[in-house]
Amino acid sequence: MHKSGFIALIGRPNVGKSTLLNSLVGEKVAIISERPQTTRNQIRAILTREEAQLIFIDTPGLHKPKHKLGSAMVKMARNTMREVDLIFYMVEAHHPPGYGDKQIAALLQKSESPVFLIVNKADLAAPEKLAAHKDFYEKLGSFKNHFVLSALKADNLDYLIDAAVAELPEGPQFYPPNMVTDQPEIFVAAEIIREKIIPLTSQEIPFSVAVVVQDLSFREESELIDIRAEIFVERKSQVGIIVGKGGMMLKKIGTLARKELEALFGAQVFLDLRVKVKKDWRSREKDLRRLGYAD
């Protein structure tokens, strides 16, 4: 019997959802950062085994939205919860439950899908704290199963995968076995560029940046890929920050992104980056749709 199904990763921003997604499939499918609200879209990662295919769905963290982008992200996460066969509710081992965790746990109690509690970042918690925190989290709801792990170190994931397979219904292989994500290449490339900008900038900039790849083409008869991308910011004053003194910042972003893109595509990359203003795009419905953050 072949099984397949969809598994949503749900939790507060920054608990390690995208890190777990990547560790589960053994490839970098979603970008990661130390800042909350890095993930803006629903990202799927596919794990194919002989007996089952698991499709993990990374979601933007559930938080109290402050602008239309935030609302669209939360809506996406909530919709995902309704459409899946299993939910991984992710929390942090080194922190006791906070207000946000409790809200999410309450929301999950209404879900019809089984929920696994995943206490992540076990590597950061002292053993006695870990046991106490795990107890607190378990009391927030009724969970089908619970796991303590480190998404970063990718410890004990086989155990989690086996338990997940047991919850999935009988079903077909939805994707070809060698496919790890359903995201188009231009989206992956744009996300890699955005990921490089996040730690190099501060305050509102990481949140105000959107990246769109206009063109990604393989040059004929040479191992070279041309990638043309636009970096959008919300205000004129932010352009200078991204470009930097004498263009140094943009160069740094370009170099970091190019290295990773070359590793990803296994070819030399020629990267053309432009910075543009899309005024207050996070608050404009139309821009959110154009940027792929809302439907």
Chain residues binding Mg ion by CB under 5 A are 17-18, 39
78/276 with CB nearer ligand GDP: 78
Cβ atoms within 10 Å of 200's Cβ, excluding its own: 15
Picked from ligand GDP, Mg ion, none, the partner binding residue 254 (CB below 5 to 8 A depending on kind) is none
CB of 160 to ligand GDP, least distance (A): 13
CB of 289 to ligand GDP, least distance (A): 23
CB of 142 to Mg ion, least distance (A): 26
CB of 198 to ligand GDP, least distance (A): 10
Picked from Mg ion, ligand GDP, none, the partner binding residue 113 (CB below 5 to 8 A depending on kind) is none
CB of 39 to ligand GDP, least distance (A): 5
17/133 with CB nearer Mg ion: 17
List % helix, strand, coil for the chain (3-state, nearest 5).
40, 25, 35
Residues 6 or more apart whose Cβ sits within 8 Å of residue 100: 12, 62, 63
19/53 with CB nearer ligand GDP: 19
CB of 172 to ligand GDP, least distance (A): 29
Per the document, the length of the chain is 295
14/208 with CB nearer Mg ion: 14
At 50, is the secondary structure helix, strand, or coil?
coil
Contact 143, 116 (CB under 8 A): yes
17-25 vs 157-167: helix crossing angle, rounded to 10: 90
Positions touching ligand GDP (CB under 6 A) are 11, 13-19, 32-34, 38-39, 61, 120-121, 123-124, 150-152
β-strand pairing of 210-218 with 224-233: antiparallel
At 88, is the secondary structure helix, strand, or coil?
strand
4/39 with CB nearer Mg ion: 39
CB of 77 to Mg ion, least distance (A): 11
37/145 with CB nearer ligand GDP: 37
Picked from ligand GDP, Mg ion, none, the partner binding residue 124 (CB below 5 to 8 A depending on kind) is ligand GDP
Picked from Mg ion, ligand GDP, none, the partner binding residue 160 (CB below 5 to 8 A depending on kind) is none
Long-range contacts of 263-270 (CB under 8 A, 24+ apart): 264/188, 264/192, 265/185, 265/225, 267/218, 267/223, 267/224, 267/225, 268/223, 268/224, 268/225, 269/224, 269/225, 269/227, 270/224, 270/225, 270/226, 270/227
Cβ atoms within 10 Å of 165's Cβ, excluding its own: 18
4/38 with CB nearer Mg ion: 38
* Segment holding 145, helix H or strand E: strand 145-148
Distance CA 30, CA 43 (A): 7
Picked from ligand GDP, Mg ion, none, the partner binding residue 4 (CB below 5 to 8 A depending on kind) is none
Picked from Mg ion, ligand GDP, none, the partner binding residue 123 (CB below 5 to 8 A depending on kind) is ligand GDP
187/265 with CB nearer ligand GDP: 187
Cβ atoms within 10 Å of 199's Cβ, excluding its own: 12
CB of 222 to ligand GDP, least distance (A): 36
Given the structure tokens 């089984």, which residue do they identify?
114
Picked from Mg ion, ligand GDP, none, the partner binding residue 68 (CB below 5 to 8 A depending on kind) is none
